[in-house]
Amino acid sequence: MAAPTMDRRSAADGTGAPAVQTLTIAKALNNGLRASMEANPKVIVMGEDVGKLGGVFRITDGLQKDFGEQRVLDTPLAESGIIGTAVGLAIRGYRPVCEIQFDGFIFPGFDQIVSQVAKLHFRTQGRIKVPMVIRVPFGGGIGAVEHHSESPESYFAHTAGLKVVACSNPADAYWMIQQAVDCDDPVLFFEPKRRYYEKGEVDTTAAPGPLFASRTLRAGRDVTLVTYGPMVRTSLDAAAAAEEEGRSLEVIDLRSLSPLDLAPVYESVRRTGRLVVVTEAPSESSISSEIAAKVQQECFYSLQAPVLRVTGFDTPYPPSKLEEEFLPDLDRVLHAVDRSLAW
């Protein structure tokens, strides 16, 4: 009798868990951290409330129970201390994963990140590596109070010596967190907090693409939309709405903010002739302005309209009752598309 074939949705590792699962971004991150901790006993998770509570957003739920208090550490409320301790652990051969509970709380640890984490490898002429991950839930849209809804990614993308990435869907969350843990360079890992509970398929047997690479999520011919993190879903929704009006938008998820992988963006803009960059962060001195400058430099003779940007406003993040006025939405994206096509 022929041997039974294994359904692609059955795990090949004997655990009984399906190889293809429908997960939220939050659960995908949890599973990815668990996989990294199982694969390498030197991986340590640390941060405020990451242990017994399982994290404010439950990203680390169950990890302390399964791996113990020596590997999942509840720290004091001191971001500078968290980062500084992680630097020492990384130098001694561990791979710490630090959680910054909310994006706006990262600034007490800013000095440690830009003065120590980013520079040790260079300062020691390569003798010391700093393989650590700093997880940062970022962006708005959750109705939180002050300091809980920031987009500080440009600060770190500007800092030589740091890698900066942002996931936008469960599959990327699962694989990118593991790749970040495996990276010998320090990685700022930005997670779109208002998308934590959106679901998608995750194939745990798939071969993931490179960590520091952008990805085209939707092909199009009229306008290129470039985005990352929480604005990926908004941009995809805008592309679907534009299709009903006969317009074809290409959507590219940057995924990596430093280094920027703009080769797919250049290729797309040379075909469409138009680019709209969509981010929650303010526009001044930002990742969006860097993209606009580089595309203008590399694709000048292909552009049929100026590069346009749809961003948060250049103001402090507003009170929660006003955040929907601050955050880019589908209408603002489509208005920029209209302006580009009308040029």
pLDDT tens digits along 285-337: 999 999 999 999 999 999 999 999 999 999 999 999 999 999 999 999 999 99
Percent of the chain clearing pLDDT 90 (strictly above): 93
Mean pLDDT of 28-45: 98
Compute φ and ψ for 282, nearest 5 degrees.
-60, 160
SS3 223: strand
> DSSP 3-state assignment of 113?
helix
Q: What mean pLDDT comes out for the span 114-132?
A: 96
Q: What is the mean pLDDT of residues 84-94?
A: 97
The predicted structure's pLDDT at residue 15: 53
Length of the chain: 343
Question: Has 148 been annotated as catalytic?
Answer: yes
The pLDDT > 70 percentage for the chain reads 95
Q: What is the mean pLDDT of residues 52-68?
A: 97
Query: So what's the pLDDT on residue 19?
Result: 86
Asked if residues 63 and 33 have their Cβ atoms less than 8 Å apart, the reply is: yes
| Model confidence at 14: pLDDT above 60 | no
* Per-residue pLDDT tens over the stretch 216-263: 999 999 999 999 999 999 999 999 999 999 999 999 999 999 999 999
pLDDT score at 340: 98
Q: How many Å is the Cα radius of gyration of the chain?
A: 21
pLDDT number for residue 18: 80
Report the C-alpha gap between 225 and 217 in whole angstroms: 10
| Cβ burial 252-279 (10 Å sphere, 16+ → b, else e) | bbbbbbbebbbebbbebbeebbbbbbbb
Identify whether the C-beta of residue 32 lies closer than 8 Å to the C-beta of residue 21. Answer: no
**Per annotation, catalytic residue among 121, 148, 158, 335:** 148
Alpha carbon dihedral 293, 298, 301, 305, in 10-degree steps, equals -30
Nearest to 248 by CA among 271, 214, 278, 228: 271
- pLDDT confidence bin for 2, thresholds 50/70/90: very low
Position 89, amino acid: L
Question: Confidence class of residue 44 from pLDDT cuts 50, 70 and 90?
Answer: very high
Which residues make beta-bridge pairs with 97?
45, 133
Distance CA 109, CA 157 (A): 16
- Is residue 52 predicted with pLDDT exceeding 70? yes
Q: What is the mean pLDDT of the chain?
A: 94
Q: Could you tell me where the DSSP H helices lie in the chain?
A: 25-39, 63-67, 79-91, 110-112, 120-123, 153-157, 170-182, 231-243, 263-272, 287-298, 323-326, 330-342
Residue 207 has pLDDT above 60, yes or no: yes
